[in-house]
Amino acid sequence: MSSVSVVKRAFRYRFYPTPAQEVELLRTFGCVRLVYNRALEARTAAWYGERRRVNYVQTSALLTEWKKTDGLGFLNEVSSVPLQQSLRHLQSAFAAFWEKRSRYPRFKSRKRGRASAEYTRSAFRWRDGRLTLAKMDGPLDVVWSRPLPEGAEPSTVTVSRDPAGRWHVSILVETTVAHAPPVDRVVGVDAGITSLLTLSTGEKITNPGHERRDRERLARGQRALARKEKGSANRVKARLRVARVHARIADRRRDLLHKLTTRLVRENQLVVIEDLAVRNMLRNRSLARAISDAGWSELRSMLEYKCDWYGRDLVVVDRWFPSSKTCSHCGHLLDLLPLRVREWTCPGCGVSHDRDVNAARNILAAGRAVAACGAGVRPTRR
């Protein structure tokens, strides 16, 4: 009998709010954004003015005081839970900053990114498969594109509206995922641009270039947006058209990455990838657009949680490991291998290599060493 993993899993669905629900949600989004920005401003001023750190408990007390003022009395008209959750999110953002995992928290913008509000168990009602949020008189009209796990009870509900105007609800539940049957296959994965993925088996998965396919449509929409007068209704419509193109690109990219990662995890017991410094690579102005379109960071995060769910092993090889310049047949290390060189012949053993396939095989060999010995893979030095 296969073992199982107990995981927290989010299921996202489209929904279509009534006019009254839309007004209530938009008001909640605005209050969440206001509370987040005011708390960030207070924490920043306390640090730079007094060298004093303000924690979540103190910002929660500030929120109570804000609600008592005449200018912010409208904060009492929305559910208090999303406001408190925004303060918790700010605390998490500062924790990540202090641990040097992210940059300093930024203020939320009404025009940038998606608007969202998070409801915990006390702020929504789940009954007979119908979801009703606090301050609303009726359930949401959710399109149940796939069923929730049987007997699952939502613990957190996040409502969001993306720049394209689409409404989504993300339902977090605790459920079990059965581990996949053990297999004896292993694979090394080299991420690229021309070939999205190159496997150690020699298979190359072509990069469909989602952004490149819609680049002309995106350019037309952006030119039309630039011609519209700021603050006009036509500018709002033009911005919405551009956002829909971006949403179409992102949806196709995410769909492909889900299919690829699920296939890799199902077919292989061990998956080995390279630790890529995507943020640093994006500084290359010639390749930044193609690197962003490939979605390498999203690919890695999907592999991480899917391997954890299905009982597979994921090994990440050091980013400085010279996988492309090392001969996978004899181990000879080249001094230099320009990016334009896609095939090369080893001067040590005479074997001809495809650059990407050779890199994937070296990544697999390094990952096997890590899995067997538990040690990290460091760059080969002369």
Active site residues: 190, 274, 356
Q: Which two tokens stand for residue 274?
A: 């390279």
What are residue 125's DSSP bridge partners?
132
Asked if 305 and 222 count as a contact pair (C-beta separation under 8 A), the reply is no
Q: What tokens were used for 61?
A: 């007390």
Q: Which residue has the tokens 């640093």?
A: 280
**CA separation, residue 334 to residues 341, 367, 380 (Å):** 13, 21, 11
Q: What whole-number distance in Å separates Cα of residue 151 and Cα of residue 7?
A: 15
- Neighbouring-strand partners of residue 334: none
Helices marked H in the chain: 19-50, 56-68, 80-98, 210-213, 215-227, 233-267, 278-281, 288-294, 296-310, 355-373
Distance CA 79, CA 66 (A): 15
Q: 115 forms bridges with which residues in the sheet?
A: 161
- The Cα–Cα gap between 251 and 374 comes to 37
Dig out the tokens for 236 from the structure.
């709002």
